[in-house]
Every structure is written in structure tokens, then in C-alpha cells.
Amino acid sequence: MDATFGPLNITPQSLAEEAGRFQHKLEAGLATLRGMDDVHFGVTAREEVWRDGKTILYRYRGERVPTAKVPLLIAYALVNRPYMVDLQSDRSLVKGLLERGQDVYIIDWGYPDRSDRYLTLEDYIERFIGGAVDYLRKAHKQDAINLLGICQGGVFSLCYAALHPRKVRNLITMVTPVDFHTADNMLSNWNREIDVDLLVDTLGNIPADMMNLTYLMLKPWRLFAQKYVGMVDILDDRKAMEDFLRMEKWIFDSPDQAGEAFREFNTQFFQGNGFVKGGVRIGDEDVHLGLVEMPILNIFAEQDHLVPPDASRALRDLAGTDDYTELSFKGGHIGIYVSGRAQKEVPDTIHAWLAKRSR
């Protein structure tokens, strides 16, 4: 076509061909979708070893006996479900760590209901993380364990490590916000003028629907319109459709947020930026990152739209440790668990880093 026609090199013929390809994809999609069962997730065998209320500590069972003597406890965020770290056979951080000899445990916070509205950050950090850590210390006859906190779970882990430095041998934070007031933090910008007390007093627990909508609104065209328009490309690919549906399941399988913990988290971190400005208080205790003196591996994602890299990088200057390591992963907030490259790079890094510090 003549270049002077304008920005579109489209003819009636090419339009018809594109529509024809769309139609063929739809036809193929009928066979793909009808032949599919419900998607499954969480592939690695696990067993319950400890429980407090709705919170359960699971131990993962790999295909080899762990070689690591110090157990690794994963603390995930309260938003979304922790099976993101073990989504499917070829996308599992847990599997990767087990294959390398780590002894992996995870805390599952469960689905809070209205009777859990008054759970506070102290409950989540001291009672649940603390309870799980104490169980593991006893069970493995260790004074301290390795802790891996993810996103909000990383914030909890930092608080716990600051309050109980002797119980955490090595700390790994993944996509964890530390400075909540970086200029590119959209969630934080939205939170600052919200009357959190009014919100929690009115709603009690914060509904999962509202959380889901908030996350979609971070990139509404890409995460809502473009994603589903683009789904046509994979309608004839059963494996890709299964992956897509599994991810959809995870995205919308969100627990409600316990009201009081939400109030404290938003006030102290999103609004108060407490790690940077001070003022983080868990129960009766002040939290200072300067007291986090154990080795730290801080892993963040360069294209993270939820936790901007600079929000995580701030840990370098605030932590009290002399042994601080960073992994800047080329990917996004979710890609750091499920992308092809992450399957090797992330568990390799964690295992090698821990192995060096276990000698």
C-alpha cells in the first residue's frame, strides 16, 4: 500500500482475513474448552503440621529428602492465596527449592470471616508467624530458622525479624515494599486520602471483591480489556488456556481482609510509611529495621506495577545488617513466580545464597 495513505495499512481484504482468523480461533476454542476439566493448582504434596485458628502451617514434600538442616518458612501476603508459589508443575518456586534440597514450609492464612474482624497485625505477626517459627525451631532443634516473606508477607517478616532477631537465621524478602511513598506507587497514592477508620468501621472486613477491583484498576485497559481481547490467540492451545484459567482462578480467589489488620497496615505503612518515617508498632512493641541484623536477600521485580523496585530497594539503607544482597529480577510482580526464567533464576539464587550462609 502507498505509504501516504496514513497510519493504517488495512484493506477490506486484510480485514476479512483477520476476521476469518478470529472465527477459526473461535471454532477451535469450542473443542479446546469443551475438552477441559476444571483447572487444578498446588501441585506439590504437603501436609499440615501446625494450626492456630484458620492459619495452617504446611510442610511440602519433595521427591528427595531435604539436605538443608534449617527449615525455610514462606510467609505470603494476606491478599490472594499462597498457592501462587506452587501454581503448577512447571511453574513452582516451591518445587524448585525442594529440588535443590531446601526443607520448605508455608503459612496459609485461610479465609477470614466476620468473626476474624478483630485480628490485628500483632495476631498475624506474633501469634501466627511467631507460632509457626516456634514450632519449627522446636521440631528441627534449631535456635533460628530461615524466613522468606513475600509482598505483604515480606513486611510481616521484616517486623518479625526486627522483633525477634535471634529466631531468624537468614531473611529473604521478595517483592516487598519498604518505602511506601515512592513517586511511582499508585496503590499508596490512592490510599493516602482514604479515611481508613471510616472504611473499616463501615465494612468490618474488607471484601475480596473490592481488593480485586482495586488491583485491576491499577492498569484497567491492560488487565481487563486487552487481556480478554487477547485471549482469542490461545483458544486453540489447550495448555495455554489451562494456564490462563489457572491464573484467572488465582487472581479472583481472594480472601476478605480482616478489618483491624487492614486498618493498621494501611495506617502505618501506606499512609504513615512507617519503615522509613518511624512509627511502626506491633502490639506494644516499636519496630525498627535497624534491628534486622541477620543476612538479608532482597528480591524484587524490575517491572513490578504493584511494588515498584524503588519501594523494595529502600531496605538496603534501612536494615541493620552488614550482609545484604539484592536480586533485581527482569519481570513483573507475578512473573517472578511463574515466568519461565523465574523457575531457574529465583530458586537458584535463594538456594545458593542460603547454602553459603549455612556453612
Distance, CA of 15 to CA of 2 (rounded, Å)? 17
Shortest distance (Å) from residue 76 CB to other proteins: 19
325 binds other proteins (CB under 8 A): yes
Which run of H or E residues covers position 23? Answer: helix 12-34
Determine the Cα–Cα distance for residues 145 and 165; give it in Å rounded to an integer: 10
Provide the minimum distance between the beta carbon of 155 and other proteins in the complex, in angstroms, as a whole number: 18
Beta bridge partners of 296: 171, 324
Q: Where are the alpha helices (DSSP H) in 192-258?
A: 196-203, 208-216, 220, 227-230, 238-252
Q: Residue 12 or residue 76: which is nearer to other proteins going by CB?
A: 12
Of 177-216, which residues contact other proteins (CB under 8 A)?
183-184, 186, 189-190, 192-195, 198-199, 201-204, 207-210, 212-213, 216
Q: In the complex, what is the shortest distance from the CB of residue 257 to other proteins, in angstroms, rounded to a whole number?
A: 14
Is position 10 an interface residue for other proteins (rule: CB under 8 A)?
yes
Q: Is 159 a catalytic residue?
A: no
Q: HSE on the CB side for 57, CA within 13 Å? A: 22
What are the cell numbers at 129? 508467624
Write each residue from 56 to 75 as x if it is in contact with other proteins (CB under 8 A), else as -, in one continuous string. Answer: -----xxxxx----------
- Residue 274 CA to residue 51 CA, distance in Å, equals 30
Helix 238-252, helix 12-34: angle, nearest 10 = 80
Residues 245-304 that bind other proteins (CB under 8 A): 245, 248-249, 251-254, 284-286, 288-291, 296-297
Of 166, 225, 239, 358, the residue at the interface with other proteins (CB under 8 A) is 225
Q: Choose, by CB under 8 A, the member of 54, 99, 236, 335 that binds other proteins.
A: 99
Asked if 166 is part of the footprint of other proteins (rule: CB under 8 A), the reply reads no
Q: How many residues bind other proteins (CB under 8 A)?
A: 125
Q: Out of 43, 231, 234, 240, which residue is the one contacting other proteins (CB under 8 A)?
A: 231
Listed in sequence order, the residues at least 6 apart from 301 whose beta carbon sits closer than 8 Å to its beta carbon are 175, 307, 309, 329, 330, 331, 332, 333, 335, 336
Does 104 help bind other proteins (rule: CB under 8 A)?
Answer: no
CA distance 354 to 258: 33
Residue 143 touches other proteins, criterion: CB under 8 A = no
Among the listed residues 277, 328, 340, 358, the single contact to other proteins using CB under 8 A: 328
Nearest to 31 by CA among 237, 233, 232, 228: 237
Looking at residue 46, the DSSP 8-state letter turns out to be E
Cell numbers placing 267: 495506617
51 vs 316, beta carbon nearer other proteins: 316
Residues 11-50, interacting with other proteins (CB under 8 A):
11-12, 14-16, 18-20, 23, 26-27, 29-31, 33-34, 36, 38-39, 45
Catalytic option among 79, 125, 151, 336: 151
Q: Is 119 in the site for other proteins (CB under 8 A)?
A: yes
Cβ proximity to other proteins: between 74 and 248 the closer is: 248
Three-state secondary-structure class, residue 323: coil
Residues annotated as catalytic are 151
